[in-house]
Structure 1
Amino acid sequence: MRTVRIRVYGRVQGVGFRYYTLHTARILGITGYVRNEYDGSVEIVGTGEDASIDEFIQKVDRGPIRANISKCLIEELPEQHFTDFEVRY
């Protein structure tokens, strides 16, 4: 299992990005959360199998059709345990 923090920058708020991430995470079996940040970015923390995390990162880096991603930063974290994937406010 592996946990990552992903910070996504660009036009990522107001375009359905959090719900795209929620849907993608649940399909891939990723647990964790996604939330908007005050600086206009989106923070994602996800835990899952290595291959699932790699695919998750690729899909998040593309985002939903209305998003325009300028930068995606990935940080490895110590393994964290979540029961589900959720949108946090």
Structure 2
Amino acid sequence: MRRHVFISGKVQGVYFRVYTRDEAARLGLTGWVRNRRDGRVEAVFEGEESAVEEILAWCRKGPPASRVDKVEVVEEPYTGEYKDFTIAPTV
């Protein structure tokens, strides 16, 4: 399964990307996470359905210093193009 997400709120400057990378790796997911210049965090998660659902639930809470206001989830076809989960450059 693959999900492309956009997370809004107090999600930059609170290690959201690092926590997301660590949680995704723990769940065996592949993909990436990055900051956007508009203040959101964007991520693509690929993996088993249960693991993707778990990371989406985690994204709705975020790390301790964050405040998540909104999580937009876009369903996309699984591609298997990623080998691991990384932090990507800001766009």
Normalising by the residue count of structure 1, what TM-score does the alignment of the two structures yield? 0.96
* Aligned-pair Cα RMSD in Å: 0.6
Secondary structure of residue in 2 paired with 1:29: coil
Following the alignment from structure 1 to structure 2, what is the Cα–Cα distance between the partners of residues 75 and 30? 17
Secondary structure of residue in 2 paired with 1:24: helix
In the alignment, which residue of structure 1 is the partner of 2:5?
6
Q: For residue 33 of structure 2, what is the amino acid of its counterpart?
A: V
Following the alignment from structure 1 to structure 2, what is the Cα–Cα distance between the partners of residues 40 and 80? 27
Provide runs of 4+ in structure 1 moved above 4 Å: none
Equivalent pairs: percent with the same residue? 36
Secondary structure of residue in 1 paired with 2:38: coil
In the alignment, which residue of structure 1 is the partner of 2:88?
88
The alpha carbon displacement at 1:80 in A equals 2.1
Q: Which runs of 5+ in 2 are unaligned?
A: none
The alpha carbon displacement at 1:88 in A equals 0.6
The alpha carbon displacement at 1:42 in A equals 0.3
Q: Which runs of 5+ in 1 are unaligned?
A: none
Following the alignment from structure 2 to structure 1, what is the Cα–Cα distance between the partners of residues 67 and 45? 21
Normalising by the residue count of structure 2, what TM-score does the alignment of the two structures yield? 0.94
The alpha carbon displacement at 1:78 in A equals 1.2
Q: Could you give the per-residue CA deviations for residues 31-67 of structure 1, whole angstroms, max 9, x where no partner exists?
A: 0000000100000101010000011100111100100
Following the alignment from structure 2 to structure 1, what is the Cα–Cα distance between the partners of residues 85 and 43? 10
Q: For residue 77 of structure 2, what is the amino acid of its counterpart?
A: P
